[in-house]
Amino acid sequence: MKQPAVYIMASRKSGTLYTGVTSNLPQRVWQHREGTADGFTKRYGCTLLVWFEPHATMESAILREKQIKAGSRAKKLALVETLNPDWRDLYADLF
């Protein structure tokens, strides 16, 4: 599935959040879950895909990622709560 997307990973419900952008969401989330790349998500255990938004172009995905990252933690929590109030891991929904 090669499609630009913005996504939020979490360590647990209302836990540490990571916002990212990718052109291959299933592959990237797998990398976060497996800890194959050193970085923020591995350090803080952000293994749950709790929100994602597909985009038509990488440019629009990057703009949206910047918008989300510039927002407050409360806004990020509200974004997740609106579409995924149970904080369910959405990884299986990608297939």
Q: How far apart are CA 36 and CA 20, in angstroms?
A: 16
Write down all domains in the chain, each with its CATH number in brackets: 5-94 (3.40.1440.10)
Q: What is the structure's pLDDT at 16?
A: 97
pLDDT digit string (tens) for 32-65? 999 998 899 999 999 999 999 999 999 999 999 9
Residue 80's alpha-carbon distances to 52, 56, 90, in angstroms, are 9, 21, 11
Q: Report whether pLDDT(15) > 80.
A: yes
How confident is the prediction for the chain on average, in pLDDT? 96
Q: What is the structure's pLDDT at 1?
A: 57
pTM of the model: 0.95
Q: What is the structure's pLDDT at 95?
A: 86
